[in-house]
Amino acid sequence: MKKLLNDPANLVAESLRGVARAHPELRIDHENRILYRADAPVSGKVGLLSGGGSGHEPAHAGFIGPGMLDAVCAGEVFTSPVPDQMAEATKNIDGGAGVLHLVWNYTGDVMNFDMAAELAAAETDTQVEAVVMNDDVAVEDSLFTAGRRGTGAAIAVEKIVGAAADQGRGLSELADLARRVNDASRSMGMALTSCTVPAKGSPTFDLPDDEIEIGIGIHGEPGRRRVPLASAHDIAEMLVDPILADRDFTGGEGVFVFVNGMGATPQLELYLMYNEIAALLDKAGIVPVRTLVGPYVTSLDMAGCLVSITRLDDDMLRLWDAPVATSALRWGM
């Protein structure tokens, strides 16, 4: 294993200290491993909280700021934060309008966010709602989830709902919007290589040089099947076909297409993949009106990509275009 480390046991804590130095616009509670936008809580605004295991950077901390999240809880690598973290963050971002938990569908995250909501309600009068994001079409159940996994759709959900929260929309309306965006989204990923968790020191799974894994999750979970290494054109079909088979993406205002790098795939290859994906969508009569290409939801040093497609209505499109100022996404400001 070759990584930029001091001690694997201190990786998350030391990384958070680096985030604090690089991004003074954030406020970081190092003891509880919570990252806040500097002006949280914002009076009269619904607070938005997400989080999960580390190792997916820039998710989740890269999406804190005006137009997106108010706070994020950071767990150890690929490990859910604990309920006490989440409850503390929930209380600290309540500006009087309640708090919405945006939860990626992994068993530990769902259970701990549920417990955190109960803790926060018992200790304060904070009103909490939760939306679970479950967009992955690869598998119905996995090592980490009951039901479909939460993957790339979180970017669309957190951006669109974040913009709506900044407009002053209420808690119930935001929760409904988050469910609507999640329901409009489908995703599918693949791996060229495994990732290596620093504490383990070896690849999570064995993948021969002449094979690829189709339908992986963002923690290196196995997918639908293992197949021989194929061309980018064929891989794009393996990812897009199941997405289009699972939902109708025609109509509306077009679609948002997110081609995500898993951590070790060059941007050069990701744009090549987008070209193949766009050609398949053209053939299917589906119109991409917004795109995002790059490593935003990674799995440490895994090579591969994930495709996420969201069918937009006019409200979602306007909210996607609204100003945002985070370390990972920034426009209109």
**Bridge partners (DSSP) listed for residue 54:** 77
| Rounded Cα distance, 241 and 111, in Å | 32
Q: Is the dihedral of CA 165, 289, 261, 140 positive or negative?
A: positive
Q: Which amino acids are annotated catalytic?
A: 56, 219
CA distances from 202 to 15, 196, 198, 207, 302 (A): 21, 5, 8, 12, 12
In the chain, what is the straight-line distance between the N-terminal and C-terminal CA atoms, in Å? 41
Q: Is the distance from CB of 42 to CB of 18 less than 8 angstroms?
A: no
211-214/225-228 β-pairing: antiparallel
Under the phi-then-psi rule, with left for phi > 0, alpha for psi from -120 to 50, and beta for the rest, what region is 65? left
